[in-house]
């Protein structure tokens, strides 16, 4: 037998052109037109505000999608891992920000290797880490961009805004091999604050810290050409604050259950962007009239922010039922779901669900039109 | 640039023979000797009880490990997905039970394809699904084994024990292309019941249903040569019940935080088996004296049953901090964790964490001795 006899079947043995219902399962469906509208909406917002747009590619891990974002006006992309940057660079993306701290000789040498071919920058929050990055750059005879990462309230990575940021900025500006470009100020915690007004207020507090640090950088003669931040939940607030030069939202292209539920300007659903991905699953067991089981469980739909949302099956609800099972329960006298029924689920968290798949099944007008690899899936180093 | 320039670096660019602390991160460490003891302990239990052992390969997704289990006496392995069976068969595993319901023409044809080369059986809980499987088998001129899957309390897949199981057994016995072998009776819900006595009692209730169905099968002249079930939490109880002929435990080779916490015969830790895997992570940000950040987040350590457990760092605790971050917090005046420190974490759920990795970093006596692919990772079809 061949080394990997079922690879085609596993990642998409269906014929291009087939109906969605003919796609084998589980499958990660990507609605191309919907994603295209999301890409254009965020690009239009950035254009209208005179902001650079650098979408976060950790969401999609796809060079194809990165190139669509760039074709729509993005200056480049963000990613979290060196391994993601390598995949994107290999596919022709020319400007990448690793919006995360990186430490360790092997990874720093890989960043320097990328800097021979593309513009690459890294978030730094520590003088020793910056010194090690500079050393790696010098060893390869390249220059690596650096953004001082400030903690505007998340309590994760980042140096404190204001004085501490300026001190680190001065240190990094003096490191040969690094080119200080400005600041990064991403607050993951406020992206999912429920309620439009509450989220706006949280974003204002973060933006004030960014603005103060930008002013301190200017007073110190440090560069502020790039001030990168904002996410899908706060782009409109942070993008309008005047503190940022660049937006690094990612989830807006796909949306997910969690983001839908944070609330929008006009009601309980946050609908600035449309849901563009879903997971197709098959009912493969019908043990009871009020309970059937699908082939999509924990290894297909992430649950880090709760369960996925069942679509198009009124009166039925979804519960993860183990690694490879999803349980659908009927509440009342709704339509049955016979053996073989294909159902769709909206992921609760797009990033961690996409990372479980090898391929996007790209659909348009109800038909499969392409298979796109999740090329940087699993690139955790 | 090459298509995938950093592949080696991403999946293990370290030199075999290096110390564990020299392994780049995140890395999934597999302690070979510890796993070997676990394999032998379960094999010895099965031998001592005259039971067949068919470990569940969904836990490890590795043909290498499957072959070690078989070399230690296992009759073959279980898996959940056709795609897992294909990977295992391609690596020489000759006897596989898909311990799960399968529906859909493409997958059934793939099962029939496997049956040309190996002994393969499938769990069935529905006459229509069994008829479709039989049709696929006949179309390929092969015979596929079948086990009637009974629900002994989990409320997921499976036909009711007793009469309903016998009725389905009779139907399946009459389907050309299928060879009815007996029963499957796995209860996932009781594996994690906390407390040794409570778990024993839950297992007794399940075993009673199995025994009654076995008796009914015998009375009906249906085969009972294989009665497969049991898991890491209940193997000792269900294995001693006399109702099963075959154990299908999986997690025992690795163990995880969840299984450690269900409680053993002698205390609060369930230690029939030893933890054999851990995730190595690097402290890559040290923003505060009482808070540092590692490079292992939700895309590295699953959280479906809660967070991973930090090892060897007394006074520090771990919280997932997003897709690619883990936050370590210091409680009191413990040792600091400087930039670059490598820490280990025990996964909360081994199956879903292993599925996030492409490779095992196999270690022995503190050194890296091999790289084993997680060959069936992501094989969800």
B176: pLDDT strictly greater than 70: yes
Closest Cα in chain B, distance from residue A154 (Å): 10
Distance between CA atoms of residues A129 and B340, nearest Å: 9
Q: Is B379 a member of any domain?
A: no
Preferred mutation among A2, A286, A287 to probe B, highest tally of B CBs within 10 A: A287
Average pLDDT rounded to a whole number, residues B317-337 = 93
Distance between CA atoms of residues A103 and B160, nearest Å: 55
CB of B362 within 8 Å of a chain A CB? The answer is no
- List residues bridging with B317 in a β-sheet: B329
Same domain, A208 and A93: yes
Q: What DSSP letter does each residue of A226-288 carry, written as one string?
A: EEEE--TTTHHHHHHSSS-SEE---GGGT--HHHHTT-BTTBSS--SS---EEEEEEEEEEEE
B9: pLDDT strictly greater than 60: no
Residue B268: the pLDDT is: 94
A4: pLDDT strictly greater than 70: no
Same domain, A22 and A45: no
Average pLDDT rounded to a whole number, residues B6-29 = 81
Q: Is A361 a member of any domain?
A: yes
Cα dist from B368 to A26, B218, B363, whole Å? 36, 52, 4
Distance between CA atoms of residues A43 and A52, nearest Å: 9
Count helices and strands in chain B by DSSP H and E runs: 11, 17
Q: Give the CATH number for residue A281.
A: 2.40.37.20
Same domain, B245 and B328: no
Here the tokens at position A291 are: 């309970």
Closest Cα in chain A, distance from residue B48 (Å): 30
Count helices and strands in chain A by DSSP H and E runs: 11, 17
Distance between CA atoms of residues B232 and B249, nearest Å: 5
Please give the share of chain B, as a percent, with pLDDT higher than 70. Answer: 97
The tally of domains found in chain A comes to 2
Instruction: Provide the whole-model pTM.
Output: 0.96
Residue A334: the pLDDT is: 80
Residue B3: the pLDDT is: 39
**Higher local confidence (pLDDT), A181 or B266:** A181
Residue A6: the pLDDT is: 43
Segment B98-129, tens digit of pLDDT:
999 999 999 999 999 999 999 999 999 999 99
Q: Is A84 a member of any domain?
A: yes
Here the tokens at position B43 are: 């094999």
Segment A9-22, tens digit of pLDDT:
455 578 899 999 99
Strand A291-294 with A277-288, pairing: antiparallel
A9, B83: Cβ pair inside 8 Å?
Answer: yes
Same domain, B106 and B183: yes
User: H helices within chain B, ranges in order?
Assistant: 7-12, 32-49, 63-71, 82-90, 105-115, 127-140, 163-173, 196-219, 235-240, 257-260, 350-354
- Chain B residues close to A88, C-beta within 8 Å: none
Average pLDDT rounded to a whole number, residues A175-199 = 96
Cβ(A177)–Cβ(A124) below 8 Å: no
Residue B1: the pLDDT is: 32
Here the tokens at position B270 are: 């369930």
Q: Is A336 a member of any domain?
A: yes
3-state secondary structure of B323: coil
Same domain, A40 and A157: yes
Segment A152-168, tens digit of pLDDT:
999 999 999 999 999 99
* CA atoms within a 13 Å half-sphere pointing along the CA-CB vector of B60: 32
Segment B231-265, tens digit of pLDDT:
999 999 999 999 999 999 999 999 999 999 999 99
Segment B29-68, tens digit of pLDDT:
999 999 999 999 999 999 999 999 999 999 999 999 999 9
Burial class (CB in 10 A: 0-12, 13-18, 19+), A272: middle
A40: pLDDT strictly greater than 80: yes
Same domain, A334 and A210: no
Same domain, A18 and A46: no
Give me the helix-helix angle, B82-90 and B105-115, nearest 10°: 20
Segment A323-352, tens digit of pLDDT:
999 999 998 878 899 999 999 999 999 999
B12: pLDDT strictly greater than 70: no
Same domain, A152 and A55: yes
A217: pLDDT strictly greater than 80: yes
User: Phi, psi at residue A4, to the nearest 5°?
Assistant: -145, 70
Residue A5: the pLDDT is: 39
Cβ(B128)–Cβ(B103) below 8 Å: no
Range of the domain at B149: 32-260
A284, B110: Cβ pair inside 8 Å?
Answer: no
Same domain, A149 and A289: no
Average pLDDT rounded to a whole number, residues A274-303 = 97
**For all residues of chain A together, what is the average pLDDT?**
95
Preferred mutation among A158, A323, A341, A342 to probe B, highest tally of B CBs within 10 A: A323
Here the tokens at position B348 are: 């909360």
* Beta-sheet strand order (sheet of B178-185): B52-53, B246-247, B226-229, B178-185, B144-149, B119-124, B95-98, B77-79
Residue A11: the pLDDT is: 52
Q: Give the CATH number for residue B75.
A: 3.20.20.10
Buried b (16+ CB within 10 A) or exposed e, A314-350: eebebebbbbbbbbbebeeeeeebebebbbbbbbbbb
Residue B136: the pLDDT is: 98
A90, B285: Cβ pair inside 8 Å?
Answer: no
Q: Is B265 a member of any domain?
A: no
Of B54, B9, B62, nearest to B277 by C-alpha is B62
Q: Is A14 a member of any domain?
A: yes
Q: Is B100 a member of any domain?
A: yes
B100, A324: Cβ pair inside 8 Å?
Answer: yes
- Chain A residues close to B156, C-beta within 8 Å: 285, 287, 293, 321-322, 325, 327
Q: Which of B217, B238, B260 is the last residue of a domain?
A: B260
The model's confidence at residue A281, banded by pLDDT at 50, 70 and 90, is very high
Buried b (16+ CB within 10 A) or exposed e, A200-235: bebbeebbebbbbbbebbeeeebbbebbbbbbbbbb
Cβ(A42)–Cβ(A273) below 8 Å: yes
Please give the share of chain A, as a percent, with pLDDT higher than 70. Answer: 97
Same domain, A174 and A314: no
**For all residues of chain B together, what is the average pLDDT?**
95
A231: pLDDT strictly greater than 50: yes
Distance between CA atoms of residues B278 and B310, nearest Å: 10
Here the tokens at position A253 are: 């292209």
Site of tokens 């100020």: A185
B8: pLDDT strictly greater than 90: no
Q: Which of B238, B260, B282 is the last residue of a domain?
A: B260
Cβ(B231)–Cβ(B350) below 8 Å: no
Residue A333: the pLDDT is: 75
User: H helices within A92-178, ranges in order?
Assistant: 105-115, 127-140, 163-173
CB of A22 within 8 Å of a chain B CB? The answer is no
The model's confidence at residue B11, banded by pLDDT at 50, 70 and 90, is low
Non-local CB neighbours of B310 within 8 Å, separated by 6+ positions: B316, B317, B318, B328, B343, B344, B345
Q: Is B144 a member of any domain?
A: yes
Closest Cβ–Cβ partner in B90, B107, B355 for A299:
B355
Non-local CB neighbours of B156 within 8 Å, separated by 6+ positions: A285, A287, A293, A321, A322, A325, A327, B188
Residue B116: the pLDDT is: 97
Same domain, B193 and B288: no
Residue B159: the pLDDT is: 98
Preferred mutation among A156, A184, A345, A361 to probe B, highest tally of B CBs within 10 A: A156
Distance between CA atoms of residues B110 and B116, nearest Å: 10
Average pLDDT rounded to a whole number, residues B346-366 = 98
């Amino acid at each position: 037998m061949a080394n990997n006899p079922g690879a085609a079947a596993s990642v998409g043995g269906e014929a291009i052109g087939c109906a969605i219902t003919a796609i084998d399962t589980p499958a990660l469906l990507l609605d191309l037109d919907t994603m295209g509208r999301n890409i254009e909406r965020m690009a239009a917002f950035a254009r209208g505000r005179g902001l650079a747009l650098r979408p976060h590619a950790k969401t999609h891990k796809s060079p194809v999608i990165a190139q669509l974002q760039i074709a729509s006006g993005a200056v480049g992309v963000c990613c979290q891992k060196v391994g993601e940057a390598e995949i994107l660079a290999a596919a022709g993306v020319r400007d990448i920000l690793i919006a995360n701290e990186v430490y360790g000789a092997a990874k720093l040498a890989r960043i320097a290797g990328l800097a021979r071919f593309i513009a690459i920058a890294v978030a730094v929050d520590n003088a020793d880490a910056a010194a090690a990055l500079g050393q790696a750059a010098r060893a390869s005879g390249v220059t690596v961009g650096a953004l001082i990462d400030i903690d505007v309230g998340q309590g994760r990575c980042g140096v404190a805004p204001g004085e501490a940021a300026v001190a680190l900025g001065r240190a990094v500006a003096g490191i040969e091999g690094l080119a200080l470009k400005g600041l990064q100020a991403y607050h993951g915690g406020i992206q999912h604050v429920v309620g439009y007004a509450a989220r706006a207020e949280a974003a204002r507090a973060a933006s004030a810290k960014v603005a103060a640090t930008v002013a301190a950088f200017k007073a110190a003669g440090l560069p502020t050409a790039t001030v990168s931040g904002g996410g899908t939940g706060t782009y409109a607030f942070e993008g309008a604050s005047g503190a940022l030069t660049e937006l690094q939202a990612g989830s807006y292209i796909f949306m997910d259950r969690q983001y839908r539920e944070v609330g929008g300007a006009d009601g309980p659903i946050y609908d600035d962007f449309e849901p563009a991905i879903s997971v197709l699953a098959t009912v493969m067991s019908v043990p009871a009239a009020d309970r059937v089981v699908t082939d999509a469980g924990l290894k297909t739909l992430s649950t880090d922010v709760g369960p996925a949302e069942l679509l198009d099956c009124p009166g039925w609800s979804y519960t993860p039922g183990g690694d490879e099972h999803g349980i659908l329960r009927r509440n009342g006298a709704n339509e049955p779901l016979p053996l073989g029924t294909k159902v769709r689920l909206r992921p609760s968290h797009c990033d961690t669900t996409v990372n479980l798949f090898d391929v996007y099944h790209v659909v348009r007008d109800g038909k499969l039109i392409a298979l796109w690899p999740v090329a940087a899936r699993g690139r955790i180093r």
